[in-house]
Structure formats: structure tokens, C-alpha cells
Structure 1
């Protein structure tokens, strides 16, 4: 009975500790209060329009234009990028493509989703989706794994003929993330997230010279970078350790016996 009470108390305590981890596994938080969604897009990596996760950015452009947005993604998140292109009534068949790049401008493969789609003549709109792999807190230098930092989205029509250029279109972009939790945790972390200009900013902060700041991307997660250091991996590791200790205690009590010498009947 004593072992049962100890086991129940330990599991209850670990269940309460698992509460924050369960909350961390929910989808990414909504954008900051009062933040307005962007209504334009950049034309290059350097001029990419910053978008917070959970916002729906819009832009007006023409076929043949390159539209760029950027958003922050921290470790443990699996971002999903969705784009909708509203086409004019009179248009020929068009093929649109969405590409996602990390802070080093390495093109990231989509885990699944329709990254390239063709709109037949007369189609009112087309939707594109790119679900990235889970962002890792650390990776080998030779690997192409997603890492914490700024991510760039490029939307454009491909394979257009000269007569098809210049048609007006409207585009929408939305980025959401799912927190994968301890299943994606690795042993290691980056010294700095892959944010353009962050190394220059760190140096200027050490010199107390804010005027020389050269940050090219100002958005970051609500709780700061590497906010997902606490995952349910810690909870399950703790549960395993407690259960192993209790199993050892129970086995010891069962194998040592009652501890009393055996009584020998008189005259035996």
C-alpha cells in the first residue's frame, strides 16, 4: 500500500508538471495585439515584407512579378505557408509556384502540400500550400535542415509567355505553425538564430552603439528566440526515471522478504 501511495503521488506531481508542456504543443500564438496585416509585398530578399504568424498579408501585383514576404520560426515548430492568388477574368492558363528559403537563403523542401499548381483559363483563384519540415534547434553544417531564424517566401508565376505578362492579380499569404514538442528536440542549439544582421546587431550592443544597428528583420517569436527549450521530452524523461526508481524499490522489498528469522517448531 505504501508503494502504491508513493507511485500515485509521483504520477500526480508529474501530471501537474506536464501541464505547461501540453500547452506548448498547441498551434502558434496569434499576432501581437494591434499589429496590422501588411498590404504589400517586397520584390527581393532584402525588401521582403515582414509578416507575423497568424496574420493574412495581401498584395496587388502583376503576372511576372516576384513577391517576397518573411516570417520568424523558432525551434520545434512546423510552419505551414498558404498562398491564394486571385486571377483576372480573362487570362490564359498560368502556373504559380511558392518557394520558402531560410535565413541563409537555402531553399527548403516542402514536406507536403501543393507547392506548384496550374490554373486553367477562366479559373478565378488558385491556392498553394507548403508545409515545411520541423525547425530544429541545431544541425550539422553540411545538412539542409530548417533552423531557427527568418524565413522568406517567394510567390511568382512561372513559364509565362511575353503576351501573358502584366496581368493584374491579387495575392494573400498566411503562415501558421504547429508546435511538435519533444518529438523534435535535439541536443544542441545555435549561438544565434539565422536572422539577417543579427551578428552586426550583437556587436553594436556590446559597444553600446545602437545607431549602427543593421537588423534586416525585426520580427521574432512572442517569447523570444529559443522559447521552446521546455518540451514534453523533459516530462516523459522524468516519468521514466520515477517509474524506474519505484520499480527498483518494489523489487527490493519483494526479494528481501519479511526480514524475520524463520521459526522452527519445537522437537523438529
Structure 2
């Protein structure tokens, strides 16, 4: 007896679909890790803030990707506020241009802090949050990479949540004679999508703190050369929401893996059934002499 079995073409088709979905899933993950369009669309825009607040209530609003600048005096507390939505991993970079070395009397220590909408200080995953500038240094740069913003968290947790995030830049230690010297600060907040690996169930009913849109019609420009933003074009202490709305990034690579897994499971079932059942017919040859 000889049984002729033919490997079904559906199995080969299933392998091809598997390879295609693997490539598609990889592309989806890579796309989720690329910076969001808002991170670079307005980096060089003329509407970037040129002042800074001196407290949480007077923080200057800035969008992600905007290079906010401010002229201030050494020893001032400088505040900015920007929005961060669920699924974003924000990075804040700050640069301080120091006075002439001939006018300074020693090294200085600068620090960059980031607070959420509830004014809870957020820890940095990595980056140089505190830097020491030598007596002859021209500038000092600090970086803080925050944890991924979550859409929901337990009340006892200190997880980053969607809403306003405050940037505070100040000097911690310097010679007494250097207080009041003029400095030039620049900060920029950018973010990248973290993908479905950091997604959680649940969502907030509203972002942290009151978030309003800019209202230039009722604003009075502040005097040039000052760091106070009481009359800035954007309401002080609030951040304009994302251009596409809060929690609009509902898409993640979890959808790709869920749908792809379902398709692969169905194809595997069909291919396994076809291979176990065979072509559907058996051929029998009578032995010679029988």
C-alpha cells in the first residue's frame, strides 16, 4: 500500500503571510518610537516664547518642540509649562549661556527640575539633571528624560499622567558676588511615542490642572528684557493642549499584534487541518500476483 500525500499550498501561503505580518509589525513598532510631528513642527517658529515665569502660577506656556528662551539674572527661578499626553516619553533640554568669565568669581551649579500638573517632582530616567559649570565655561547644558506618561494610575502612585508639566531652571550654588549677573536660558521639550508596551487600561476624565488655549486678543505684551510673564500672550501658569486633542493617540502597536495574532492563529488552524487530513483521497495499488 502506498499513500500519496500532497503538501497543501495553504501552508506555504500561511508561512508567507507570517513573514509579511512580522515585517509589518516591526515597521509599526518603529513608527511608534519615532518622535511625534509636534516635536519638530514648530522648533524654529517665530511664536516661540522669549520670556519665562518666576513661579508655577506665572509659568510661560510652550508647546513641544518650541525653543523657549529667556533673559534673566543669576539666582532667578525660571518656569515654563508644556503639555504631555498619554503614551509620550518627554525629554527636556536646557542650556544656560553664562556671563563673561572675567565677571565671574568661581564655578556655579545649575539644576533642571520637572513637575507634573499636581506639582509633584518627576524623577528623570536618565540625563544630567544637575551640572557644575566651571569658572571659565561659556554655557552649561542639562537634560531630563521623563518616564512614559500613563493614561491612568492608582491614587497612591507617582506615575506621570496626561496634562501640564512645569520646567524649573535655577542655580543652586555659586559665589555670592555672582548673584544678579545676566544669563540667557533656553529650554525645549520633545517627546516620542512609546508604543503599546507601556499602554494601560483606563483613562483620566480630564488632564491634570486646567489647560487652556492661548488667547492673544486679551493679552498685553510684557516689557522686553524681563522674565515675568504676567502679561504674556498665553494665560500664565497654563499649557495649551495638544493640537489633535488629549488622548488622541489611541492607536498603538498592540492593535497590530492583536489582529496579526488572530489571523496567524486562523491560518495555522487551517494549515494544520489540511496537512493532517491530506489531499482528500487515497490511492491503493494491488500487489503483483494477487
Same topology, TM > 0.5: yes
Deviation at 1:186, TM superposition (A): 1.4
Which residue, 40, 62, 77 being the options, matches 2:88?
77
Unaligned runs of 5+ residues in structure 1 are 199-213
Counterpart secondary structure, 1:107 = coil
Contact 1:134 1:180 in 2 (8 A): yes
Higher relative contact order (CA 8 A, sep 6+): 2
The answer to whether 1:63 aligns with 2:74 is yes
- Indicate the structure (1 or 2) with the bigger Cα radius of gyration: 2
Kindly provide the CA deviation profile for residues 105-149 of structure 1, in whole angstroms up to 9, marking residues without a partner as x.
110001101000111112111001111111111212111111111
The answer to whether 1:139 aligns with 2:153 is yes
Counterpart secondary structure, 2:249 = helix
The alignment's TM-score, normalised by the length of structure 2, stands at 0.77
* Paired position in structure 2 for 1:224: 245
* Paired position in structure 2 for 1:149: 163
Kindly provide the CA deviation profile for residues 128-175 of structure 1, in whole angstroms up to 9, marking residues without a partner as x.
111111111121211111111110000000134543321111101111
The alignment's TM-score, normalised by the length of structure 1, stands at 0.83
Looking at structure 2, the residues matched to 15 and 215 of structure 1 have their Cα atoms a distance apart, in angstroms, of: 47
- What are the within-5 Å matches in structure 2 for residues 205-220 of structure 1? 217-220=238-241
Contact 2:211 2:239 in 1 (8 A): no
The answer to whether 1:239 aligns with 2:250 is no
Deviation at 1:81, TM superposition (A): 0.5
Contact 1:78 1:133 in 2 (8 A): yes
Contact 2:81 2:239 in 1 (8 A): no
* Paired position in structure 2 for 1:41: 52
Looking at structure 2, the residues matched to 244 and 16 of structure 1 have their Cα atoms a distance apart, in angstroms, of: 17
Number of paired residues?
Answer: 253
Contact 1:18 1:232 in 2 (8 A): no
Unaligned runs of 5+ residues in structure 2 are 1-8, 213-234
Counterpart secondary structure, 1:163 = helix
| RMSD over equivalenced CA pairs, Å | 2.9
Which residue, 261, 273, 279 being the options, matches 1:252?
273
Looking at structure 2, the residues matched to 68 and 125 of structure 1 have their Cα atoms a distance apart, in angstroms, of: 19
Looking at structure 2, the residues matched to 163 and 64 of structure 1 have their Cα atoms a distance apart, in angstroms, of: 11
